[in-house]
Structure 1
């Protein structure tokens, strides 16, 4: 399972796993505050916060080229992009500083840190082991905005980025200009923006209002693609290689770094 549905919106399973691991750390800090020492009161929260900051910085460092062209996107935390090793290093370094010279308390602190790490690793491994293989592009026809049928199979032989979206979805609205920019900057990759369940007038009105000009916007009023890929919320972005095989999929608003990394994978 790679996502959890909350109505029409999706939470990626890795994000849920990370949140559960943070809750384990916070619960451990609260327990040690009551049973061991009051100095654990703010330790767990600050360790978690430091870990998140370091995880973000590590991700930015590993994807520096993507962030260099848009430095403000470093602050777009809702797009995701955190490196687990950075989180571990940040939390450990803060713990060493917080309990410096207090070796008894430091030994106690290693327990919730280790349990949180084990929880993250175990849940991540379980999620990977139970993941189902990605489905290939289906042999279906959808309609473009001019009313012409378009066979999805015509795109085999080219890398494809498939985005399932809706005009009422705020993350879909925010990521659309980036998808337009990346589509124009990567003409060797087909960007298919498949609207789910809305009419031509709704979609065209949205594109016109935003001044968006994207080559392959298709209408899927019957949710054919969503059912095929078992997707019930938006946005969802799937990446296919030239053979039509699904290489990766991501739930939530995409970032430039994520698109760049996966474009390199499908080429």
Structure 2
């Protein structure tokens, strides 16, 4: 399972954490006669905004070389690029500053932050357990562009990145250069791209038009991989270890930064290229 409806699991966990924090702060304020409920709620919303802003800025700085290659991707917050170690202290500092003269607001606000963090930690823990209990890379029967049979589980033996995509999908098209660059920069990884529901010639024309050189583009005419992985939309990217066990999943467009970050966190992989190769079409 990679998402709930159109939303990725990570987004759902973040929303639940924010709602839990907001509800906890307001409930705590109601129990204090001198703590305005609306003011506490507004303060928590502001703290979350400040925390997210700082977390995003810190993440962009950390992965600046990847973002500099495609500056538009800085605004693509759906890539999940947030540095919690910077955002959480910023949110707490903001609460402390705003409540320096409004002490009745401090306790409810801090309780709200604590509740949000607790839900976020619990949610991410559940997601990790879901990944660990997920079935291994399946033996789904696909074909190469020249019609040769290929099975997904035949790619085990090295970490595998499986990207489900289609040529009609704009975010799929936008992330393709990043995947092509990663294939060259991480020779120890295997990047497998099952196309969902399109003909071989359509795929060939797209790759030729974009000047993309990808080793393992496969055809999945009946979208069997989407059903096998429980994917609700495209693009979906799944990360498997060398034994074929799912260790991470991302629904939606990948940026160069989020891809590099995931490969480092999950596999300790470091790019062998000092800079990405030039793109023929962008």
Instruction: Sort the TM-score into its range (normalised by shorter chain).
Output: 0.7 to 0.9
CA deviation vs aligned residue, 1:131-174 (integer Å, no higher than 9, x gap) = 55233333343222222323445433333211111223232122
Equivalence for 1:16: 12
Change in CA separation of 1:129 and 1:143 when aligned onto 2, cut-off 3 Å: closer
CA distance in 2, matches of 1:135, 1:148: 25
Change in CA separation of 1:130 and 1:164 when aligned onto 2, cut-off 3 Å: closer
Deviation, structure 1 residue 90: 1.9
SS at match of 2:247: strand
Equivalence for 1:138: 138
CA distance in 2, matches of 1:109, 1:219: 52
Mind listing any 5+ residue stretches in structure 2 that lack a counterpart? Answer: 270-282
Mind listing any 5+ residue stretches in structure 1 that lack a counterpart? Answer: none
Equivalence for 1:225: 225
Equivalence for 1:112: 112
Equivalence for 1:51: 51
CA deviation vs aligned residue, 1:157-192 (integer Å, no higher than 9, x gap) = 333211111223232122112111211223332211
SS at match of 1:243: coil
Equivalence for 2:203: 203
Change in CA separation of 1:205 and 1:132 when aligned onto 2, cut-off 3 Å: same
SS at match of 1:168: coil
Aligned residues: 262
Deviation, structure 1 residue 61: 4.9
Change in CA separation of 1:42 and 1:155 when aligned onto 2, cut-off 3 Å: closer
SS at match of 1:192: strand
Contact kept, 8 Å, 1:58 with 1:86, in 2: the verdict is yes
CA distance in 2, matches of 1:133, 1:99: 44
SS at match of 2:249: strand
Output the aligned Cα RMSD.
3.0
Equivalence for 2:275: none
The 5 A counterparts of 1:1-267 are: 2-6=2-6, 11-27=7-23, 36-37=35-36, 39-40=39-40, 42-63=42-63, 66-67=66-67, 73-129=73-129, 133-264=133-264, 265-266=266-267
CA deviation vs aligned residue, 1:9-56 (integer Å, no higher than 9, x gap) = xx22121111122234445667759x7436547423321110111221
Deviates more, 1:121-130 or 1:102-111: 121-130
CA distance in 2, matches of 1:137, 1:39: 50
TM-score (norm 1): 0.81
TM-score (norm 2): 0.77
Contact kept, 8 Å, 2:2 with 2:229, in 1: the verdict is no
SS at match of 1:248: strand
CA deviation vs aligned residue, 1:194-242 (integer Å, no higher than 9, x gap) = 0112222332333344333322211001222223323232222122333
Contact kept, 8 Å, 1:47 with 1:92, in 2: the verdict is yes
Change in CA separation of 1:29 and 1:159 when aligned onto 2, cut-off 3 Å: closer
Contact kept, 8 Å, 2:131 with 2:246, in 1: the verdict is no
Contact kept, 8 Å, 2:140 with 2:153, in 1: the verdict is yes
